[in-house]
Amino acid sequence: MNAQSTVPPAPEPARTETPILAISSEKVSYIIIKAREFDAKDVVTDPDSSSNASDDAMLSVLEDHSDDPVIAELRAAIGSLNVDEQVDLVALAWLGRGDSNLDEWNDLRDEAARAHNSRTASYLLGMPLLSDFLEEGLSQFGVSIEEFETSHL
C-alpha cells in the first residue's frame, strides 16, 4: 500500500452562465444616452420663446417642451424594438433598480413579459433615473457603455 494518499481535487463551484439578452448592448446604450438627454431637461421657463433659440440665450434647448425631439427619438427607438427586446429592456431597468438580481433574471424577465403592453415607451420614460437603471442592469451582464459612448459621441 502506498504511504502517500492522494486527495481528489475539490469540485469547482457551480458556475451560472450569464443569460443572453434579446436586445443588443448597442441598442440599450443608445437608449441610455438618449434617456440622459431627456433627464437633463428642465421645466419650461419661457413659454413664449421666439423661434430662434439664440435670441433666448439658448434657454429653450434644455426645456421640456411637448414637441421635444429627444422624447420623439426615445419613443421611436423603443417602439422599433420587437417584443422580446422591449421585455428585456424593462427587465434590465428593473434589474438595475434593484428589484432582483442576475441569478433571478429568468423570473424577472418572465414578469416583464407578463406586464408587457403597447405602452412600454411611456412606462420607461416615466421611470425616474431610467438611464442609471439601464446602465446598472447592463453592468450586471458585464457590459459597459463606455466603448459605445467613445465610438458614437
Q: What is the pLDDT of residues 6-50, one digit of tens each?
A: 666 655 555 468 899 999 999 999 999 999 988 765 544 555 555
pLDDT score recorded for residue 68: 78
pLDDT score recorded for residue 151: 79
Helix axes 25-39, 83-97, angle to 10 degrees: 60
The answer, yes or no, to whether residue 136 has pLDDT greater than 70, is yes
Tell me the backbone φ, ψ of residue 112, rounded to 5 degrees.
-65, -35
pLDDT score recorded for residue 50: 55
pLDDT score recorded for residue 91: 98
pLDDT score recorded for residue 138: 96
Summarised one tens digit per residue, pLDDT across range 120-131 is 999 999 999 999
pLDDT score recorded for residue 38: 85
pLDDT score recorded for residue 86: 98
Residue 38 carries which DSSP code?
H
Contact 91, 140 (CB under 8 A): no
Summarised one tens digit per residue, pLDDT across range 107-121 is 999 999 999 999 999
Summarised one tens digit per residue, pLDDT across range 53-76 is 555 555 555 545 456 788 999 999
How many Å apart are CA 118 and CA 35, to the nearest integer?
19
